[in-house]
Amino acid sequence: MYQVGFDFEVKSKDFDEVIRMDLDVKEVSKYLAQQKNDAYRKLFTSEIIVTADTVVIVEDQILGKPSNSEEAKQMLLQLSNGKHSVMTGVCISSNDKKISFDDSTNVTFKKLDVNEVDFYINKFWPYDKAGAYGIQEWIGMIGIETIEGCYYNVMGLPINKVYDCFKNEFAITPY
3-state secondary structure of 77: helix
Task: Convert the pLDDT of each residue in 80-103 to its tens digit.
Answer: 999 999 999 999 999 999 999 999
pTM: 0.92
Quickly state the pLDDT bin for 1 (edges 50, 70, 90): low
Q: How many CB atoms lie within 10 A of CB 59?
A: 9
DSSP string for residues in 121-145: HHHS-GGGSGGG--TTSHHHHHHEE
Q: Are 170 and 94 in contact (CB under 8 A)?
A: yes
Q: Which amino acid is at 113?
A: D
Taking the domains of the chain in order of start, what are their residue ranges? 12-169
3-state secondary structure of 55: strand
> What is the spatial distance between Cα 24 and Cα 35, in angstroms, rounded to a whole number?
16
Q: Which amino acid is at 56?
A: V
Which of 38, 53, 103, 164 is catalytic? The answer is: 53
Quickly state the pLDDT bin for 135 (edges 50, 70, 90): very high
The pLDDT value recorded for residue 21 is 83
147: exposed, middle or buried (Cβ count in 10 Å: 0-12, 13-18, 19+) = middle
The pLDDT value recorded for residue 2 is 66
Quickly state the pLDDT bin for 15 (edges 50, 70, 90): confident
The pLDDT value recorded for residue 136 is 97
**Mean pLDDT of all residues belonging to the chain:** 95
For residues 21 and 154, the model is more confident at: 154
User: 95 in the Ramachandran plot: left (φ > 0), alpha (ψ -120 to 50) or beta?
Assistant: alpha
- 144-148 sheet: strands from edge to edge: 61-63, 49-58, 83-93, 98-109, 144-148
The pLDDT value recorded for residue 13 is 80
Task: Convert the pLDDT of each residue in 139-162 to its tens digit.
Answer: 999 999 999 999 999 999 999 999
Evaluate whether the domain defined by 12-169 bears CATH number 3.90.950.10: yes
Q: Quick check: is 53 catalytic?
A: yes
Task: Convert the pLDDT of each residue in 40-54 to its tens digit.
Answer: 999 998 999 999 999
The pLDDT value recorded for residue 20 is 82
